[in-house]
Amino acid sequence: LQLGEKYIQPETKEVNGILVTKTMSENWDNIWNFQARPDDLLIASYAKAGTTWTQEIVDMIQNDGDVQKCQRANTFDRHPFIEWTLPPPFNSGLDLAEKMPSPRTMKTHLPVQLLPPSFWKENSKIIYVARNAKDTVVSYYHFSRMAALLPTPGTWEEFVEAFKAGKVLWGSWYDHVKGWWDAKDQHRILYIFYEDMKEDPKREIQKILKFLEKEIPEEILNKIIYHTSFDVMKHNPMANYTTFPISFLDHSISPFMRKGMPGDWKSHFTVTQNEEFDKDYQKKMAGSTLTFRTEI
């Protein structure tokens, strides 16, 4: 596999009932045995929940608002994506994580039951970011169209059905958000929402600061809000995934930094599709105290 060569759409496999890429499934033993450290910080989420945004906020906090330092490398290299496995010569998340000196900040999309157990044992801090199902499925659909690294999504209708059935990479959104929600009371987990971040970034960044036991002057806080806004991140090559080869991510099909707005689902769902989605959603989320806003 060469840069520029068309990447072949990955085959998928299940690990404990969760769909992953074949390369990830072949690396599963190593992923499961990953050694976390007590001073690790993990940013966890379902795909397309605002992970990259949260990563940029965290990096800016850790570097006291130093924009230059945050541009030392692209998001993928700054924060190893632990389970993400690519064929050589590309770096896999585990290799990057193992080489990284402490304190490390890493990323995962694993559902809570598949998180390497050393994270619980070492009591590492975890920030979980969640986004409403409708905007997530829209974002996931467009990302799957542009990312040759993910299975092809099929039509929009097909993709919505696969999403509802949990037959997409990293499994069921419903189980993912609920699973981590239930785990948050037993572990050091800060659970935040995309919609809240959009509504009041200052308030949400302050929550993250408190969780990281860090204080910064107001002036730096304002700088972080600015630097991590959608419009600024969209033009930051170290945060917008444009450093990846076009054969992996083709931004001309749909840019990684696409809309960045709660409520974009309204321009995708038909009335019937929306009604069916809501009905199915009620069933899948019944009994959970977790609630989402689909617009702000």
Q: What is the DSSP letter of 268?
A: T
36 versus 49: smaller Cβ distance to ligand A3P: 49
Shortest spacing between CB 258 and ligand A3P, in angstroms: 3
Shortest spacing between CB 260 and ligand A3P, in angstroms: 3
245 versus 263: smaller Cβ distance to ligand A3P: 263
Shortest spacing between CB 234 and ligand A3P, in angstroms: 8
Shortest spacing between CB 2 and ligand A3P, in angstroms: 26
- The SS3 assignment for 178 reads helix
Where would I find the H helices in the chain?
22-26, 28-32, 51-62, 67-70, 75-78, 93-99, 118-121, 133-146, 156-165, 173-183, 194-199, 201-211, 218-227, 230-234, 271-285
120 versus 255: smaller Cβ distance to ligand A3P: 255
118 versus 242: smaller Cβ distance to ligand A3P: 242
Check if the beta carbon of residue 38 is closer than 8 Å to that of residue 123: yes
Beta bridge partners of 249: 147
Shortest spacing between CB 262 and ligand A3P, in angstroms: 9
Q: What is the DSSP letter of 61?
A: H
Check if the beta carbon of residue 48 is closer than 8 Å to that of residue 143: yes
- The SS3 assignment for 126 reads strand
39 versus 200: smaller Cβ distance to ligand A3P: 200
266 versus 279: smaller Cβ distance to ligand A3P: 266
- Annotated active-site positions, please? 109
| Sheet strands side by side (includes 41-45) | 105-108, 41-45, 125-130, 189-193
**CA pair distance 218, 216, nearest whole angstrom:** 7
CB atoms within 10 A of CB 27: 19
Residues in contact with ligand A3P by the rule CB under 6 A: 45, 48-53, 135, 139, 142, 228-230, 233, 257-260, 264
**CA pair distance 155, 11, nearest whole angstrom:** 18
- The SS3 assignment for 43 reads strand
Shortest spacing between CB 127 and ligand A3P, in angstroms: 12
